[in-house]
Amino acid sequence: MASTILYEVLVISSGGERFTIERDAPLAGGDIFEEDTESYRVLAIETGHGPFAGVIEAERLSSTEFLR
């Protein structure tokens, strides 16, 4: 059985929140992901930042934006 590699990234949201997430695949600009029942869209990615695989700048989406 192959083991899954997890990437830990720091997320900085447009609302000023900072949190880390673990992903089993990298994200790209425009991707949408969920964290703690909130949806976020990736705006920018900076790879290889300190102890993290990268830093993601993201915007939190309201439920109406997510449905567009």
Q: Sketch the domain layout of the chain as residue ranges.
A: 7-66
Helix H segments across 1-68? 63-66
pLDDT tens digits along 7-37: 889 999 988 899 999 988 888 999 999 998 8
Angle CA 16–32–45, to nearest 5 = 60
pTM (2 d.p.): 0.77
Q: How confident is the model at residue 36, as a pLDDT? A: 87
